[in-house]
Amino acid sequence: MTDGKKVSIKIQSLREQIEEHNYYYHVLDKPVITDADYDRLFRELQSLEHEYPQFIVPQSPTQRVGSKPLEGFSQIKHDIPMLSLSNAFSTDDVFAFVKRIKDRLNIENEVEFIAEPKLDGLAVSIIYENGNLIQAATRGDGTTGEDITANVKTIKTVPLKLRGDFAGTRIEVRGEVIMTHQGFAELNRQQDEQETGKRYVNPRNAAAGSLRQLDPAITAVRPLEMYFYSLDQYHGVDSQLETQLDKLKLMKNAGLRVNPHTEVVADAEGCVAVHQQLAELRESLAYDIDGIVYKVNKLDYQQSLGFVARAPRWALAHKFPAQEETTIVNSIEVQVGRTGAITPVARLEPVFVGGVTVSNATLHNKSEIERLDVRVGDTVIIRRAGDVIPEVVEVIKNKRPKSAKPFVFPTSCPVCDSEVVYDSSEIIARCSGGLFCSAQLKEGMKHFVSRKAMDIDGLGSKLIEQLVDTKTIHTVADIYKLDKPTIAGLERMADKSAQNLMDAIEKSKTSTLARFLYALGINHVGETTAQALANHFTELNSLMHADQEELESIEDIGPIVAQSIVNFFNEQHNLDVINELLESGIDWPVTEKIQVSEDNTFNGKTVVLTGTLSMPREQAKATIVNLGGKVTSSVSKNTDFVIVGDNPGSKAAKAEKLGVEIIDETVFREYANLNIRSS
């Protein structure tokens, strides 16, 4: 045996020993050697790799920091959207959630749930191919996140290579990056020692800030940790997964750390009991949690329940009781939003509550101010629950100064002096000035250029306010009429920054129908509704001429949203702005609308894909969905078809055992071509 071969074997042996000890330490929390012995192994590996650099591989434990500082974070589109969760704040909410599940599934027997702590950190998606970590991304807007691969590789509780044989697989796992209380205190101590060191307010902000460093070497020295809670893709994995618990066990066996306080409970009673237990343990935990997440355990139940808007029907976040503090109201102001809605805001004496310093709290509307009888100078109780906007919940009347006077809600807009009008409920107040009101125009502009809309990087709030105040722009269409000299003449702008903004405006002209609809700021039309409209109509003209009945036929669009859309496209000035935008060059790829015959092969059927297909898997999924079918990840007795590609694995075997019809890709393509016609 050559010396090089001996060294290679020795290096591989050291890596395997170190990864084994990492697994026992980080995942099982049962170290089997001392820190000193571990350090000795690590130093020996470092020394050999330094002497024989030809044997260094990206998955080596020594390569946690191997990247140069980044110039900026690139964007990654998630294969599967990272959805939000619906929230519960009371026991009644949990019982109602479980009842909805049973009603939708049409069952009376107990439903099992996985209950796990809701960690207060940063959600991250990681992809492993052939067992090796190849990509990591933040949640971002749920559809697109930031590429933080280099930084995530520095976190010791994230394996660079999965345990076991994962050849030929692609796995996507998700979890939460956190910082413990001890790590947070140590980081702030180190920051205090630096003259320019920034002190962090809470562990969550510290974790987020550490993970978004452009230099991975900085992230590497930050005390970040990660817990995994979700297995979202597992192509090629030879394992039969029937429950959420099966997924957690697979992840743990692969070396991915699962929270030890995760357990299986039954029905609403079990959920509420574990919520109470963890609420009592909360203060003794090494990290922050702000509630419990419940997930239906059976995967076929999850598939049947599906999703609503941006959240799964089979999961719920049960928040802990809100945290409250007292402070003083220094003033009450009203803000005008992009739809003209007038919202009163209490400006407060700053107070630390729920992990952040709060200086503003919403008062919601005129009737809420009257109900609370809140006045300037009052001592009030404010509440902050999770990420919910702080609100005033009670006035301590016996501390009210004698000079305090009732707040008088304005009858005219504080920005443009137009009349304030109310909706039919007499609760929501709006400025009647429309685009005449510069506040509405400014907020509408900010929405239009935002990342989830037209994504015009560099056109921030200050620039928009300058452009509106100087009457340089009057509608969003005027953005595309700006020239470089005009932009360069604005405050804080120079030749290079003006050119960068011109480039960003030009780049934004290539968009999607969904982004364009969202950017228009139609009342009640958020990202999800905009995407649903784009999927249904596929082109703008059809949507603009749609009536209320057709709009209400789209899932999750009710009469209020439908009427708002109809009203928007009935306004001539809105049509004029849209025409100007299109004439400026804004465009998007045209998607063919699929018409499906009710008797096609896949309509109403449940389909599983397995093996390697010649077409992209997402294209195959989209084809089945367009044909009225549903794609699930595991085979059960409720599966109608299993479509197999090369090297199909255990899913095909399970389908054969259960008597589920198996078809190959050739037959699938024939069925698809026979049943789809374009219009």
Which one is catalytic: 118, 153, 298, 651? Answer: 118
User: Which one, of 551, 547, 519, lies nearest residue 532 by Cα?
Assistant: 551
Q: How far is CA 424 from the centre of its chain?
A: 34
Residues 230 and 123: their CA atoms lie apart, in Å, by 11
Strands 661-664 vs 641-644: parallel, antiparallel or unpaired: parallel
Q: Among all chains, which residue has been given the structure tokens 């209020």? A: 560
b/e code 297-316 from CB counts within 10 Å (16+ = b): bbbbbbbbbeeeebbbbbbb
Tally: H helices and E strands in the chain = 24, 26
Instruction: At 536, list the tokens.
Output: 């249904």
CA–CA dist 483, 480 (Å, integer): 8
d(CA 173, CA 164): 16
CA distance 465 to 339: 17
Q: In terms of DSSP bridges, do strands 315-319 and 87-88 run parallel, antiparallel, or are they unpaired?
A: parallel
Q: Both tokens of residue 302?
A: 């999850």
**Residue 554 three-state SS:** coil
Placement of tokens 């008062």 in the chain: 363
Active site residue 118: yes
Length of the chain: 679
For 443, left (φ over 0), alpha (ψ -120 to 50), or beta?
A: alpha
Largest Cα–Cα distance in the chain?
93
The total of other beta-carbon atoms located within 10 Å of residue 359's CB is 14
8 A C-beta contact, residue 611 and residue 649: yes
Tokens of 255: 């070396």
- Where in the sequence numbering do the catalytic residues fall? 118
